[in-house]
Chain A
Amino acid sequence: MEQNQNIKKKGWVNWILFFATIIIVFLLGMLANSVTQRRTEARLVNTPKVQIKDYEPRNKIWGENYPREYQSYLLTADTGFRSMFNGSGLTDMLELNPKMVILWAGYAFSKDYNQPRGHYYAVNDVRMTLRTGSPLKPDEGPQPSTCWACKSPDVPRMMNEVGISDFYKAKWAFYGPEIHNPIGCADCHDPKTMKLRISRPALIEAFQAMGKDINKVSHNEMRSLVCAQCHVEYYFKGDGKYLTFPWEKGTTVEKIEEYYDSYQFKDWEHALSKAPMLKAQHPDYELFTMGIHAERGVSCADCHMPYISEGGQKYTNHHIQSPLNNINASCQVCHRESEQTLVKNVYDRQIKNAELREKAEQLLVKAHVEAKAAWDAGATETDMKDILQLIRQAQWRWDFAVAGHGSSFHAPVEVARILGNSIERVQEARVMLAKLHAKLGIKEVKYPDISTKDKAQAYIGLDMKKLKEEKEVFVKTVLPEWDKKAEERESKW
């Protein structure tokens, strides 16, 4: 009887032992498999699967040959990252800082201006912004086709088909059905050799204008120059709206201004002050070259697309993003400080420049309103001429310093210098305005309430409701047509 119970008890223990062993052996098998796999992976090299033809704009076709690069590129669709001042999602900058509505009064940027998202959204976001308007026909709308220039690898394809200047000449809506794929592989790579390649004529022409040959740069310089095809200050030259980088005299804020001044170029006339304004686009590359990292030979890709190692294979991370979201693979390659310290070092520089930026903006808003008051009280062209020049210079400097989202880190000293000069000029303008006001008998200037984007836009007389309604119609009727045509075309390739 007693023995019987013993056997029963022992049987129960044995079952546990049996199943535990199954699990352990199973896990050991998985471990052995993992060891074998990880010892082999260092030897595996990628073999191309498809032949990529020249001007192939579809990123997923390239992705079949280069899956690691493509998959990391797809991560530019992520919008979840926020740093102190920037992030990877769309942020309405006019809502965040309504002063900019006043600064850009009379110019499309006062309608709509967002912090940008990743390359993945390039085509979508330029279609959706109010700045490109709501053209219902191919020859309508406020913007030229030049606005597509940086948005898609379909652009070099079309330039090759129709010619460069003819591409720029058309209306933006004209090439709507053609520009379909967001910024991607063909924008920077040669499809046969995978070498970095400049696909945009504007950068090649800018080098020629400076007397340099872009074919004679090193690979490391190319790792910045492919970015400089777009992340630069540019303008649309003449009636042909020819995309041009104003680098002929140099790439500093003063040299570019000298270039624009040399033939009295203005982007627009300010709606309040009537000053002949310049709009800085995003001189990321120009300002980056003024910073310490560029001076030490670091390229854009070193931090924004750091090399990574996966299973013993080295490749470039194509998730182009803020290095603040990847301190380990970017900063810490050279800097042995903790992530916390490095983030603080970046924020310290940004916070100090943001302080100067805020001052410059407040003063510029006042200057525009005060200039308007002077015009309203009967000021003459001669009274205003020097004042308006100073406002133009001050705002050009402010815009140049802040339009690139990374500049206050890339070149903190240069940005502070430029903002300092901006503040000096706008204050000079306001001293002259004060004298003029006294002469004209203006006792008090009423500054508008611009605490929100809506109030600021109402003050400069924008009918936002109409603009948004028109855009809605455009999105519902025109965009599906464009997509349909593009998909039909691509299905035949």
Chain B
Amino acid sequence: MIKRVFQIIRPEGKWKIAASVIGGAFLGIAIYLFIVSNASSYLSDDPATCVNCHLMSPQYSTWYHSSHREVTNCNDCHVPHNNVINKYFFKAKDGLRHATVFTLRNEPQVIFIKSAGIKVVQENCKRCHEKLNENTELKNLTGEKYLRGEDKVCWSCHREVPHGRVNSLSSTVHTFAPLPEDIKLKK
């Protein structure tokens, strides 16, 4: 199958060598990009991945100093867990948006969660805290209702959970956040 596809796109005669060189260059630079951007880490659940671009350092630090550090990572709250396909679809969609904004140097100084994220986080609050809220009916709160202005979400009241109240990109800049692996200072 792969061989047949290859044969179709491979040019005839005098173009053969040129095509191999260009194709090789193309593939080589793609592999280089894959390595320098640490692309495989984006498939993992490691929170250090989310500070690859040093934009999420305040979010990383505040989480790191919160009680949620003991039981959650970024993905536990920020990607959906209703099924595996949805999880990776959402992760890819959100990740590509972040990558685009970061590459274009378009990041705002203060980051707000978008409406898709609100729905996901709210569901994830309930995923773990459902038993706690059974009697108070708070488990009926949803991101959708909140966005229509009909109800609250968990963090409307629990405002400091878990990222605190000061939200600038530079707000927690002197706290510990891991630097990307390959450029860490050698001691």
A residues with a Cβ closer than 8 A to B are 7, 10-11, 14, 17-18, 21-22, 24-25, 28-29, 31-32, 34-36, 38-40, 42-43, 306-309, 311-312, 314, 328-329, 332-334, 336
Contacts and interface: CB of A to CB of B under 8 A. Distances in A.
Nearest to B22: A21
A31 B33 contact: yes
Contacts of A22: 22
Contact of A28 (B12, B18, B26, B109): B26
B168 A10 contact: no
B22 A25 contact: yes
A308 B112 contact: no
B93 to A, nearest CB: 19
A21 B26 contact: yes
Contact of B180 (A32, A39, A334): A39
A141 to B, nearest CB: 46
Nearest to A302: B168
The 6 closest A-B pairs by CB, nearest first: A329-B109, A309-B169, A312-B54, A314-B170, A307-B170, A314-B173
Interface residues of B, number: 39
A14 to B, nearest CB: 5
B11 A10 contact: yes
B167 A309 contact: no
Interface in B62-112: 102-103, 108-110, 112
10 contacts: A24-B26, A25-B26, A28-B33, A32-B33, A39-B52, A39-B182, A42-B183, A43-B183, A309-B173, A333-B171
Given A7-B12, A35-B33, A328 B110 contact: yes
A218 to B, nearest CB: 17
A332 B113 CA distance: 13
B103 A333 contact: no
Nearest to B9: A17
Contacts of A307: 168, 170-171, 173
A308 B162 CA distance: 22
Q: Is the interface of A mostly helix, strand, loop or mixed?
A: helix
B166 A334 contact: yes
Contact of A39 (B11, B165, B171, B183): B183
Given A42-B179, A329-B168, A36 B36 contact: yes
B6 interface: no
Contacts of B23: 21
B161 to A, nearest CB: 14
B110 A333 contact: yes
A21 B112 CA distance: 38
A334 B109 contact: no
B137 to A, nearest CB: 25
B36 A32 contact: yes
A314 to B, nearest CB: 4
B103 A31 contact: yes
A336 B170 contact: no
Interface string B146-175: 000000000000000000011111110100
Contacts of B29: 25, 28-29, 32
A18 B170 contact: no
Nearest to B23: A21
B17 interface: no
A10 B54 CA distance: 47
B132 interface: no
A328 B108 CA distance: 7
Given A24-B26, A32-B33, A311-B54, 13 more contacts: A28-B30, A28-B33, A32-B32, A32-B36, A39-B182, A308-B109, A328-B108, A328-B110, A329-B110, A333-B109, A333-B166, A334-B165, A334-B167
Contacts of A328: 108-110
Given A7-B12, A334-B166, A309 B109 contact: yes
Contact of A309 (B19, B170, B183): B170
Contacts of A333: 109-110, 166-168, 171
A24 B18 CA distance: 16
Contacts of A43: 179, 183, 185
Given A334-B166, A334-B167, A18 B22 contact: yes
A125 to B, nearest CB: 30
A77 to B, nearest CB: 22
Specify which of B23, B29, B53 lies most central, judged by the most chain A CB atoms within 10 Å of its CB. Answer: B29
Nearest to A307: B170
Contact of B102 (A10, A25, A38, A329): A38
Contacts of B19: 14, 17
Interface string B8-41: 0001110100110011011001101100110000
Nearest to B57: A312
Contacts of B103: 31, 34-35, 38
Specify which of A10, A307, A309, A334 lies most central, judged by the most chain B CB atoms within 10 Å of its CB. Answer: A309
Given A35-B36, A329-B109, A25 B25 contact: yes
A42 B54 CA distance: 7
A190 B36 CA distance: 41
A40 B37 CA distance: 12
B110 to A, nearest CB: 4
A14 B54 CA distance: 42
B110 A332 contact: yes
Contacts of A309: 109, 168-170, 173
Contacts of A32: 29, 32-33, 36
Contacts of B109: 306, 308-309, 328-329, 333
Contacts of A34: 103
B22 A308 contact: no
Nearest to B109: A329
A187 B181 CA distance: 42
A333 B182 CA distance: 32
Contacts of A334: 165-167
Nearest to A312: B54
A306 B167 CA distance: 12
Interface in B110-161: 110, 112
Nearest to A311: B54
